[in-house]
Amino acid sequence: RLRPYSLLVAGGYGASLDYQTLFDHSPLDIVVQGEGEYSLLTLCNMLEQRGYFEAPLHTIPGLILRSERSQHLTQTDYQLIRTHLDLAAMKADKYWEITASLYQNPDWGEVNTFRLNTSNYCPMGCAFCTLTNMRTYACGSPGKVRMLTAEQIVSLIRDVLVSYPDC
């Protein structure tokens, strides 16, 4: 009410999987579906350059707008996002320090890890899996699995080791 032109954006598993419930029960404007790094950055840049009323938000892959359905990320989009991460800017070493401070005798072999997402979710589609069932319920199907190639995974691992040799 205080800021009527504020844009309300949500993301994460819950929002990606059941965006319609969020739209039905909140003043939410946009859901960033799946991997949001590229979509959210593009959204912010577009709003900064063109303003709220002029920005063609429907052209941004990975956004679901309350008013209209936008396009989903393609396999190429996913690979581009995952292979062009600025790993050094992530400051994983600071994260490791904070994590280690929670333990009296931290096991640095366990603490110094770097989790790599090489696909947007598991491709198995198991009938008992909550995530598969939730995606089917929310989106009408389990959705398309987006993943990196073996060569891209090897390259990403090399990039991590260059940025964080203690990993």
pTM of the model: 0.55
Does the pLDDT value for residue 137 go beyond 70? no
Q: Give dist(CA 81, CA 84) in Å, integer.
A: 6
| Local confidence band at 138 (pLDDT 50, 70, 90 cut-offs) | low
pLDDT digits (tens, 9 = 90+) for 30-60: 988 876 778 888 899 988 888 767 778 888 8
Kind and range of the H or E run holding 110: helix 108-111
pLDDT digits (tens, 9 = 90+) for 73-107: 566 766 676 667 777 777 888 888 998 999 999 98
